[in-house]
Amino acid sequence: MLVIDAANVIGSRPDGWWRDRPGAARTFTDRVRAGVADGLLDPPVTIVLEGQSRRGVTEDDLDGVTVVHAPGEGDDTIAAVAEASHHGAIVVTADRALAERVRTTGADVVGPGWLLQRLDQLDEPDGGEGA
């Protein structure tokens, strides 16, 4: 199971996301779903949204991607999802405190670059094949 700290990943690229947080969350979620559909990411994937970003995407489970709205601090929700995973979670975040916290539950941690590199293959003319 892949658990994504959406605020941390979206915030890792200065592309103007802060001007429209709900829109940035919607675009990001669409790209993650496309990544699963194209085989760039293995399901199940959980995206945790917090704050204003929650307005951009409804909570749902669609195409191997579950969207969860954190009721408060996103880190608490991410840690709970990772801990509840029976398959061992991989958490995508650059937040050092969160990374240490989820590692104590047996989760692995990768940085935003790991995920973004895969999603960037969606923009390549051949979908990243043959590269």
Question: pLDDT, tens digit, for every residue of 45-99?
Answer: 999 999 999 999 999 999 999 999 999 889 999 999 999 987 689 999 999 999 9
19: Cβ contacts below 8 Å, ≥ 6 apart: none
The mean predicted confidence, pLDDT, of the chain is: 93
| pLDDT level of residue 4 (50, 70, 90 thresholds) | very high
35, 79, 104, 110: CA torsion to nearest 10? 20
- The mean pLDDT value for 110-126 works out to 93
Q: Write the CA distances from 78 to 16, 67, 89, 124, 128, integer angstroms.
A: 25, 11, 10, 30, 29
Flag whether pLDDT at 126 surpasses 70: no
Q: For the sheet with 2-5, list strands across it.
A: 60-62, 65-69, 45-49, 2-5, 90-92, 108-110
pLDDT at 101: 95
pLDDT value for 128? 53
What's the pLDDT at 130? 46
What dotted CATH number matches 2-122? 3.40.50
For the segment 15-24, the average pLDDT, to the nearest whole number, is: 95
Q: Where are the domains of the chain?
A: 2-122
For residue 21, give the H/E element and its range: helix 21-37
Q: Write the single-letter amino acid at 126.
A: D
**What residue has token string 């590692």?**
103
